[in-house]
Amino acid sequence: MPTADSFSHHPGPDHRAGPVPAHVAVIMDGNGRWAAQRRLPRHAGHRKGVANIRRVVGALSERGVSVVTLYAFSTENWRRPSDEVAALMSILAEEIEPQTRELHEAGIRLVHLGDLAPLEAGLQRAITKAQDITRDNTAATLNIAFNYGGRDEILQAVRRILADGVPAEQLDEALFSRYLYTDGCPDPDLIIRTGGEQRLSNFLLWQAAYSEYYHTPVLWPDLDAAELDLALNAYRQRRRRFGALDKPPLSDEA
């Protein structure tokens, strides 16, 4: 795991993305449709979806990705029927301990992104405990965005910046980034959305400024290593310019 200082939120024009993205973020969409295809209740899709986290995190870390961010529950998902929200909460409550144990054995650090306050006290404690247990792990980082919203993240940053009395002239992009839930984490190089929709749905609004975007109709519970390789191969074909121009081929330089 690189130190916070080695992360750059502002890659210069000479920055070249490595062949493997350092940070992959996934909008895990399609659990409900996966269940509907099998005439199962939606919560069965969520259960299958949570089980797929192991496979995807394992495959990405094997391929050299050092940060994985998974969008699990948005600030807008509270608008769903209360029984579905309750099912999502209880699946997380059940899964967090066993999955944290496995992540810890693999040397992976778990970080929560989002607002813990509206969650049930027991769930808040379980999430805090999972972060504490894995805090010093360095093999990779898994960010779980749960009760996360990009607008909420920006607003809570502004509130804390004002509360800290930060002088306006001192506020720049680097300082602002330190008030986000992703403090210390590089921006995502690649954002994958499963389930076919082509939108961010309030995910990483600030951090996604120069992310490459890949979407697939594959539903989240079906996303496997072969599908991930398609996304990683697509990423390798992208030319990331960050607003600058491509470097001319070496033969043109003389």
Q: Is position 195 an interface residue for ligand IPE (rule: CB under 6 A)? A: yes
Q: How far is the CB of 75 from ligand IPE (least distance, A)?
A: 10
Choose which of 17, 24, 25, 28 interacts with ligand IPE (CB under 6 A): 28
Q: Which residues contact 246 (CB under 8 A, 6 or more apart)?
A: 239
Residue of minimal CB distance from ligand IPE? Answer: 32
Cβ atoms of residues 244 and 13 within 8 Å? yes
Q: Which residues contact 244 (CB under 8 A, 6 or more apart)?
A: 13
Token pair for 223:
């996303």
Q: Is residue 5 among the annotated active site residues? A: no
Which DSSP helix (H) or strand (E) runs through 217? none
Annotated active-site residue in 31, 77, 137, 202: 77
> Segment contacting ligand IPE (CB under 6 A): 14-22, 59-67, 72-80, 152-160?
72-80
Cβ atoms of residues 95 and 65 within 8 Å? no
Binding residue count for ligand IPE, defined by CB under 6 A: 17
Which DSSP helix (H) or strand (E) runs through 122? helix 121-134
Choose which of 61, 66, 69, 77 interacts with ligand IPE (CB under 6 A): 77
Q: Is residue 29 among the annotated active site residues? A: yes
Cβ atoms of residues 108 and 134 within 8 Å? yes
Residue of minimal CB distance from Mg ion? Answer: 29
Q: Is position 73 an interface residue for ligand IPE (rule: CB under 6 A)? A: yes
Active centre residues (catalytic):
29, 77
